Amino acid sequence: MNRRPESERSDWTDLDLLTRDEAAERLREEIAEIEPRLAELPADDAERALLEARLGALRAVHDDLAVPDGTSEP
């Protein structure tokens, strides 16, 4: 148990958090990096299957972060 008063406790965990906009931007950047790589890979390539799965997951998370007015698009 931390014996310091709440006002003296470190809030370091808050310092490492991204805003929703920052997280969405990073996801857009990674999506933009993966898409051209996918275009270069043959359809039966194992790496392609992994990248497609990753891209789907990134897009799903990005969609969850999208702001209500729809301005956060990949």
Tens-digit pLDDT profile for residues 21-66: 889 999 999 999 999 999 999 999 999 999 999 999 999 999 998 7
Residue type, 54: R
d(CA 72, CA 26): 11
The DSSP-derived string for 16-39 is TPPPHHHHHHHHHHHHHHHHHHHH
pLDDT of residue 68: 59
pLDDT of residue 74: 46
pLDDT of residue 59: 96
Q: Decide if pLDDT at 12 tops 80.
A: no
